[in-house]
Structure 1
Amino acid sequence: MHGTLPQAAEPGRRAPVTFSALPLTLRLALRDLRGGLSGFTVFLACIALGVAAIAGVASISRSLSDGLGREGRRILGADLSYSLINREASPAERSALDAQGRVDVVATLRAMALAGDKGAALVELKAVDGRYPAAGDLVTDPQAPLATLLAEHDGAHGAVADPALLTRLDLKVGDPVTIAGRRFSIRATLVSEPDRIANGIGFGPRLIISQEALRATGLIQPGSLNRWSYRLQVPGASDADLTAMAQRVSEAAPDAGWEMRSRANADPRFAKSIERFTQFLTLVGLTALIVGGVGVANAVHAFVERKRGAIATLKSVGAPGSQVVILYLTQVMLIAGLGTAIGLAIGASLPFVLDGLFRNDLPLPLNPALVPGELALAAAYGLLTALAFAITPLGRAHDIPVSGLFRDTVDPSGERVRLRYRVILACALAALIGLGLATAFDRRVALVFMAAAGIAFGLLRLVGLGLMAGARRIRRPKRAAPRMALANLHRPGALTPAIVLSLGLGVTLLVTLSLIDANVRRTLTSTLPAHAPNLFFLDIPVADAEAFHAFLGKAAPGGKIERVPMMRGRIVALNGVPAESIKPPEDAAWVLDGDRGITYAEDVPEGSTLVSGKWWNAEEARTPLVSFDAELGRSLGLTVGSTVTVNVLGRNLTAKIANLRKVEWRSLGINFVMVFSPGTFRGAPHSDLATLTLPGGTDAKSENAILRDVARSFPSVTSVRVKDALEAVNDLVGKLVLAIRGASGIAVIASLFVLAGAVAAGHRARLYDAVVLKVLGASRGRLLAAYSLEYGSLGCATALFGLLAGTLSGWVIVTKVMRLEFTLDLSGALVAAGLAVVLSVILGLAGTWRILGQKPAPYLREF
């Protein structure tokens, strides 16, 4: 009941906590908040958006990582997996594996599937043994035992095909296809493949056959490009047991050169990609939060202005300035806590929403769960950002005099912030930077981002102050509207710094993303060099190389044919240091991760230019020498005279670097990181790689005819259309760009909220101006013209800065991070800048539109 006194606590029981028992400052803050959150809408939205972005990205990333860990055995198809390229395991190597447990074998390679007159298509061939799959379920349509589907009947082995192959060749279940001259019958379509992720990105649809059928095709030849995976099944083994087994296998076969994976780290490259992409999206979310911080500062500044009378009143009854600041800081942080809670709720729910809506369509295993650590980190980002951007405007309240009760509304005193509040600001910023660096996958990237954010803030502040200073010095126009607009740019309490900062960050981000998107897509599509090959041909047997060359000459008269020997090798040591002990830069780590294509040559390859050292002569070519890519060599600390050890066909070979060369990768011609001297691999089995460049450029009809004829005449040769490969990569990049756009859209929305908040923060002063000017005879049209000129000039100046800063940022990211050629394409950037100008005018006028249509008397009574 209301009005009843609290009863005394029973002996031994704690008295209930009542509102009056709370500290005085907290009680006053809560009481003041009873009036609602008017003026804090933008504040809440900015904090909630930024925290939701960071929490959502972190939650989804953790769900993916946990899903990969939980489903590691299914993804890998084993507890331990050992992969060899170009060869099968030797008896001694197989014995070392068999000693640890049951071993299943899977072979993968690319081949051409021929469907008579319907054409030919590249397929990702997967040959399995009778125990596949050992983990997870293979789902086919119709569903039947895999051994039955792949068995030989009437002289044809069975196959399970990806539906994309049936669509591409206009086939149906039951139709035949020919691979390397061997007939196969498509007995079912592939619905779900448990270990698909571990196989990486494919350039063709999957086709599953038996290993018996693979051997019957004759595709397994010395030097042919194929991968053999030996999957060790050890049910019930702990991670420690697997580590011990891996150590025993390594000791039994130290020079095998195979790639080992464990169920605990089923796909380390993919997991690393998730971490990199998560960091990028987290930085974008942090950008949204920092942009929103400007909205926080604007909202708190407006809040302090609204409370000037209350602050002066508190001081008049004896409240010290520090207690006033603590009171309103408590209020602000309570509201920030509410915004953070909203953002955490949204971010934490995202994995569950994705799993509920797209569980059957997601290509990756998702294990949605609440992740307290990641959510706590997002909350820390939100609260620290609120503190950093709120403490300065609140600190000014410390020295608001009692005379503030009577001071003119449009001439607020310009109190300076005391040292203690600047120290708090510095500590909050240091904590934000420390969190960002401590949790970053790549600290260098995080540091560059933070430095760029700081520079952007500083430059935008200078732009705002420069506009104000320039407006003061410009000669006053004779017409009233331009004169009013010019005065509004630099008068006390002008919106210039706030609008320039909020709008400038948004435009810069939009321009940067537009240029990155345009350059990536141009690199993958429209900017391909005119002499790029149309077709690649792999696994050309050495015995058929000359005949194949002659065949291409007849099939494409006038075409350019290049042919080189090709093997696969894995770097196992640099300068005698094992590859696993080397910590290379992120942009060069891929060279040591997995096997690489290698070749040998007597002369400098086309498209390469020597940077240091010299090419070998005929006498030197007999010794093991290697030419290394100059840029990658520098990243790995290699120079002329360094040594590189590669494992090829189970044998370690060490070669000295004779020279470093610059490689033109964009030509899409035959290029290799490592080119060896001919004597290095004398007598080693290998196949040839060839390219064909048609004289008339891309010709789909001619390409398809050549693909079909090659599949018939040289069934063991694998053909790849450059266009198909680029489309596969382009599709992947498109999905990544879409994710980046979505996350960046949050930052753009935050900047719009901030812009609206900046305008709203100055609404009271603008209201006063509009009323006074209307009393003095100003028409609505003249006021609209003045405000349109003011906001339009701010928008144009800010858009110009955004174009320049965004172009510079885009150039740095494209050339230094992505290492692509940069082309200035401002089509999308100009649209973003134009929208910024329009939005600044619309939002600015929206703040005064209502009052311009009203009579001034009711508002004059409020002043």
Structure 2
Amino acid sequence: MHGSLDPLGGAPGKKPGATPGADPGRSSRLPLTLRLALRELRGGLRGFTVLLACIAIGVATIAGVASLSRSLSDGLAREGRRILGGDVTFGLIHREANPAEKAFLGARGRVSAVGFTRAMASAGDKGAALVELKAVGPDYPSVGALATEPPLPARDIFAARDGVHGAAADSALLARLDLKLGDRLTVGGAEIELRTVLVSEPDKIAGGIGFGPRLMVSLDALRQSGLVQPGSLNRFVYRLMLPEGSDAAVERVMAEARSTLPDAGWEIRSRLNADPRFARSIERFTQFLTLVGLTALLVGGVGVANAVRAFVERKRASIATLKSLGAPGSRVVGIYLTQVMLIAGLGIAAGLVIGAVLPFGLDAAFGSLLPLPLDPTLAPGELAVAALYGVLTALAFAIGPLGRAHDVAVSGLFRDTVDPDRRWPRPRYLGILALALAGLVGLALATAFDRGVALIFIAAAGLAFGLLRLVALGLMALARRLPRPARAAPRLALANLHRPGALTPSIVLSLGLGITLLVTLSLIDANITRTLTRSLPTRAPSLFFLDIPSRASAAFDQFLGQAAPRGKIERVPMMRGRITALNGVPASQIKAAEDVAWVLDGDRGITYAEELPDGSRITAGRWWTPEEAKSPLVSFDDQLARSLGLKVGDQVTVNVLGRNLTVGIANLRHVEWRNLGINFVMVFSPGTFRGAPHSDLATLTLPEGPDPALEARILRDAARQFPSVSSVRVKDALDAVNDLVGKLVFAIRGASAVAVATSLFVLAGALAAGHRARLYDAVVLKTLGATRARLLSAYTLEYGALGLATAVFGLVAGTLAGWVIITRVMKLDFALDLSGAVVAAILAVVVAVALGLAGTWRILSQKPAQYLRNL
């Protein structure tokens, strides 16, 4: 028939897919479904802005986080030698290396030594401050460069002049004690001259987090200070530069050290894994941010579904035409699914580009300021994972709305505007949906650093989607059963909540996820802040005192008694030791859970006691009697013991002062760590370390709570009378931790803002998806005499009701999520503080109403005449 259309979409007399000016042979080589999908795309991307934005944001977040993590990991690997200061390092607690150990290291390469301790730096009448003392040799640094202001060579900084050693100090120390270059400090028994300001040190990361400003001196100055005593809390690190720097040589030296000197008790690290704890922290934080990105992607999936639903709505005439010309339903679904996935591919590509360039942008903008070694690089594997996340999300949320068109009759497609058919898609499309969701779950688990956390996230996401769907259905059912108001605006608003094609499910889902996330973060932030700034200081000691020589402990108690007559003094012996084996199995071979691996990684504070420490209670076994206390026994923290598979009667081997001691577990005890009192993972019987050199740890709790003036006076007097004792104000320690947590919370807020922004995109998309139905309503109602003000008030009531109901759900769900994270994950006390959460929820509701009305205003501005012609 002249002028008729080919059922496959071609024009009369032409091959399907041929276009004017195109190569027919080349076009025909493309699959028919793809050819028709590409033809549809000639109309542009109108209506797919939200789909593109949602997919791009989610993929960019995941790709950017993964690329940045890979760049940091590569930077750690590349800069391993600089971070450690050598190829292999050997760390010792309490003591310097003995002649046999020095000979072993010296026979294998060039050795440099660095000492670390905490000490009090006294500036006379200007006061005293806790410093992180770092003592270096004349060849420091072996790798990298030491930056100071003014720039000085190391020999000029640290050399002794007229018996006074030089030092480089953190600018914070000069500011705290009102000092300038050339002034002198007393550290222990040594006089120190400040010669330059410390700007950066190449091995700072390996030193860990400190509670005071850095003061760098020479090893000779440290020895002269008298701070190096048997049992004092000093750490010496010996850095070995190998003549043969191959990985095999590094592994060989480490194996020789363990076999030749098994009782040395040193902590061995290599440039191949310069800082395993820092690397694990990067992996954990990467997983968290990846899950935030996945949250944004899943929230964006709702926007994908809305956009596809609106797309199908716009294509009803085309779908009806194709089906009336004989195209099977599977062909129709295939054409439009291909088109949607091609558009999603554009969003994925944009997200990948943003994520790939993020490390390069950070390095270019802040490379000189970053304290971390960043090695910007393209990460094809990580980018492929991010792309797969985007593909699976787009497929999972698009297949449902598209699948509905398969079995709807042609007449039903034309009639669906006023009588929508809500049948389920065919099983094949439900199967595709299930496979896509399974792929998302499997991908999240396969790429997770902690699969337990990933499983919790997956379960929480599924629960949130399910509950929000129930909330939406409940609202619609309630609106359907409520009596009809007499006034027109409330009646119209109530009808809009449950009518066919209502926006209720989309708005509740997108807004509900955003409010829940905001409330959860607000409660976590409030509880962490309360714990660090209000709760702990009221119960915790005011001052800690470290490295009290055991011979001076009585005199120090007398000093504290005179300085604070009503204060509570607690003092216990303290040493440091490393767990080297559990039940004969070397600690290096034990695969402990991530939340307890720290017990086996590095040295731990240990003590001995005749009586059960305050803040502890026995949960298994019993405390030792005076007679049993003469034998080597240990009391272990019960939660850590369970995680490590330990029970009463098991054996623990600990290296203390270069000796391996194997003791039996006499009991398990529950420890209340949050009061910041004196307590330890391991408490030994007095007979275990009888006669061993040690120092004491003491705390002072002021009866009237924190007293800054009295605390400052005690710190100053203690530094003068007991120069080897390190004093720590609990408030200063908490401030340092609070600062670190504050930066972490800031990063979390920034990352989570991505998910919240995506929620707003989805909300805008949901409103745009309902544009056609709202336009139809507005035209009819305005024709019947409804004013713009009346329609606007009806829509305000509708969006306000949806926002209020969703805010209530978000407050409840966010509070529950915050409680679980605070009490179960962070192990902190939970206090319900909804001030910030309520503000966040109200702002979200205001934004929802504003977006809804902004989208509606254009509809209300339309003249009815041009639309009535087409009704």
Normalising by structure 2, we get a TM-score of 0.96
CA distance in 2, matches of 1:168, 1:406: 78
- Structure 1 residues 641 and 16 mapped into 2: Cα distance closer, same or farther (>3 Å)? farther
1:731-758 CA-to-partner distances (Å, cap 9, x unmatched) read 1111111111111000000001101111
| 2:60 matches 1:52 | yes
Aligned to 1:483: 491
Deviation sequence 1:48-74 (CA, Å, 0-9, x none): 000011011111111111111100000
1:362 to 365, 370, 373: 370
Equivalent runs, 1:257-406 vs 2, <5 Å: 257-404=265-412, 406=414
**Which residue is 2:816 aligned to?**
808
1:845 Cα offset (Å): 1.8
Please point out which of 825, 847, 858 is paired with 2:833. Answer: 825
Report what 2:582 is aligned to: 574
Alignment of 1:141-156 (within 5 A): 141-156=149-164
The alpha-carbon deviation at position 16 of structure 1 amounts to 11
Q: CA separation in 2, counterparts of 1:820 and 1:364?
A: 30
Counterpart CA distance in 2 for 1:702 and 1:526 is: 20
Residue from 84, 87, 91 that aligns with 1:83: 91
Distance 1:241 1:542 in 2: 43
Cα deviation, residue 17, structure 1: 8.1
Helix, strand or coil for the counterpart of 1:399? coil
Match for 1:25 among 14, 24, 33?
Answer: 33
Once residues 252 and 175 of structure 2 are traced to their aligned partners in structure 1, the CA distance between those partners, rounded to angstroms, is 47
- Asked if structure 2 preserves the Cα contact closer than 8 Å seen for 1:624 and 1:679, the reply is yes
**1:727, distance to aligned residue in structure 2 (A):** 1.0
647-656 vs 26-35, greater mean Cα deviation = 26-35
Q: Secondary structure in 2 aligned to 1:152? A: coil
Counting only pairs closer than 5 Å after superposition, residues 749-760 of structure 1 correspond to structure 2 as 749-760=757-768
Please name the residue that 1:6 is paired with: none
Instruction: Give the whole-Å Cα distance in 2 for the aligned partners of 1:498 and 1:141.
Output: 59
Partner residue, 2:593: 585
Letter of the aligned partner of 1:731 in structure 2? D
Alignment of 1:206-221 (within 5 A): 206-221=214-229
Contact residue 536 and residue 691 of structure 1 kept, 8 A = yes
Q: Provide the C-alpha distance between the structure 2 equivalents of 1:579 and 1:29, rounded to a whole number of angstroms.
A: 60
Residue of structure 2 in register with 1:433 after alignment: 441
Amino acid at match of 2:660: N
- Partner of 1:526, secondary structure, is helix
Structure 1 runs (4+) deviating above 3 angstroms are 15-21
For the 8 Å contact 1:161–1:188, the answer to whether it is kept is yes
**Alpha-carbon shift at residue 162 of structure 1 (Å):** 1.2
Q: Which residue in 1 is equivalent to 2:696?
A: 688
Partner of 2:456: 448
Q: What's 2:625 paired with?
A: 617
* Paired residue secondary structure (1:140): strand
Residue 552 of structure 1 is matched in structure 2 by: 560
Instruction: Find the residue that maps to 1:209 and give its secondary structure.
Output: strand
CA contact (8 A) 2:537 2:706 kept: no
Structure 1 window deviating more from structure 2 (778-787 vs 721-730): it is 778-787
Helix, strand or coil for the counterpart of 1:528?
Answer: helix
Could you say which residue in structure 1 is the equivalent of 2:783? 775
Aligned to 1:748: 756
Give the conservation status (yes or no) of the 8 Å contact 2:150–2:196.
yes
Residues 1:647 and 2:665 aligned together: no
1:255 aligned residue: 263
Shift of 1:578: 1.6
Alignment of 1:521-536 (within 5 A): 521-536=529-544
Pairs within 5 Å for 1:826-841: 826-841=834-849
Match of 1:422 among 414, 430, 449: 430
Residue of 61, 75, 91 corresponding to 2:69: 61
**Corresponding position of 1:199:** 207
Query: What CA distance in whole angstroms lies between the structure 1 residues aligned with 2:543 and 2:674?
Result: 15
Deviation at 1:291, TM superposition (A): 0.3
Which residue identity lines up with residue 445 of structure 1 in the other structure? V
Q: Secondary structure at the match of 2:264?
A: coil
Decide which of 628, 643, 655 is 2:636's aligned counterpart. 628
What corresponds to 1:35 in structure 2? 43
Cα separation, 1, equivalents of 2:118 and 2:745: 29
Rate the CA distance shift 1:408–1:323 in 2: closer, same or farther, 3 A.
Answer: closer
Any stretches of 5+ residues in structure 1 without a counterpart? 1-14
Change (3 A) 1:17 1:680: farther
- Return the alpha-carbon distance in structure 1 between the equivalents of residues 231 and 27 of structure 2: 81
Residues matched between the structures, number: 849
Q: 1:22 is paired with a residue of what secondary structure?
A: coil
- Tell me which residue corresponds to 2:105: 97
Show CA shifts across 1:22-59 (max 9, x none).
33222221221121111111111100000011011111
2 CA distance for matches of 1:385 and 1:17?
A: 35
What is the CA–CA distance in structure 1 between the aligned matches of 2:108 and 2:504, rounded to whole Å?
A: 72
Given residue 377 of structure 1, which amino acid in structure 2 is its aligned partner?
V
Task: For 2:149 and 2:495, locate their aligned partners in 1 and report how far apart those are by CA, in whole Å.
Answer: 75
Following TM superposition, by how much is the alpha carbon of 1:862 offset from its aligned partner in structure 2, in angstroms? 3.6
Equivalence for 1:7: none
Which consecutive unaligned segments of at least 5 residues does structure 2 have? Answer: 1-22
251-260 or 139-148: which moved more?
139-148
Structure 2 counterpart of 1:463: 471
TM-superposed deviation, 1:702: 1.3
* Percent of paired sites with the same residue: 73
CA contact (8 A) 1:308 1:404 kept: no
Q: Superposition RMSD on alpha carbons, in Å?
A: 1.4
Aligned equivalents of 2:533 and 2:594: distance in 1?
Answer: 26
Match of 2:253 in 1: 245
Q: 1:732 aligns with which of 740, 744, 755?
A: 740
Aligned residue type for 1:840: A
Instruction: Give the partner amino acid of 1:379.
Output: A
Contact 2:127 2:716 in 1 (8 A): yes
Amino acid in the other structure paired with 2:842? G
Over residues 299-338 of structure 1, what are the superposed CA-to-partner deviations in whole Å (9 max), with x where a residue is unaligned? 0011001101100101111211111111101110111000
CA contact (8 A) 2:297 2:393 kept: yes
Could you tell me whether the CA contact under 8 Å between 1:529 and 1:666 is conserved in 2? no
Structure 2 CA distance, aligned partners of 1:401 and 1:190? 78
Alpha-carbon distance between aligned partners in 1 of 2:702 and 2:243, rounded to the nearest angstrom:
54
1:702 equivalent in structure 2? 710
Indicate how the Cα distance of structure 1 residues 17 and 655 shifts in structure 2: closer, same or farther if over 3 A, else same. farther
CA deviations on 1:533-566 (whole Å, 9 max, x unpaired) are 1111100001111001101111122111111100
TM-score, normalised relative to structure 1: 0.97
Offset of residue 404 of structure 1: 4.3
Query: Which residue of structure 1 aligns with residue 769 of structure 2?
Result: 761
SS in structure 2 of the partner of residue 257 of structure 1: coil
SS at match of 1:567: strand
In 2, the alpha carbon distance for the partners of 1:283 and 1:408 equals 39
Question: Do the aligned partners of 1:610 and 1:661 also contact (CA within 8 Å) in 2?
Answer: yes
Q: Does residue 848 of the first structure (1) align with residue 856 of the second (2)?
A: yes
User: 1:153-168, aligned counterparts within 5 Å?
Assistant: 153-168=161-176
Q: Which residue of 1 is the match for residue 9 of structure 2? A: none
- Deviation of 1:274 after TM superposition, in Å, equals 0.3
Question: Deviation at 1:18?
Answer: 4.0
CA distance, structure 1, for counterparts of residue 585 and residue 449 of structure 2: 25
User: How far, CA to CA, are the matches of 1:517 and 1:638 in structure 2?
Assistant: 35
Q: Secondary structure at the match of 2:415?
A: coil
Does 2:695 align with 1:716? no
Any conservation in 1 of the 2:109–2:243 contact (CA below 8 Å)? no
Q: Which residue of 2 aligns with 1:122?
A: 130
Deviation at 1:182, TM superposition (A): 1.6
Question: Structure 1 CA distance, aligned partners of 2:639 and 2:870?
Answer: 70
CA contact (8 A) 1:814 1:822 kept: yes
Cα distance between partner residues in 1 of 2:637 and 2:323: 71
Q: Distance in 2 between matches of 1:794 and 1:538?
A: 59
Distance apart, 1:474 and its partner CA: 1.8
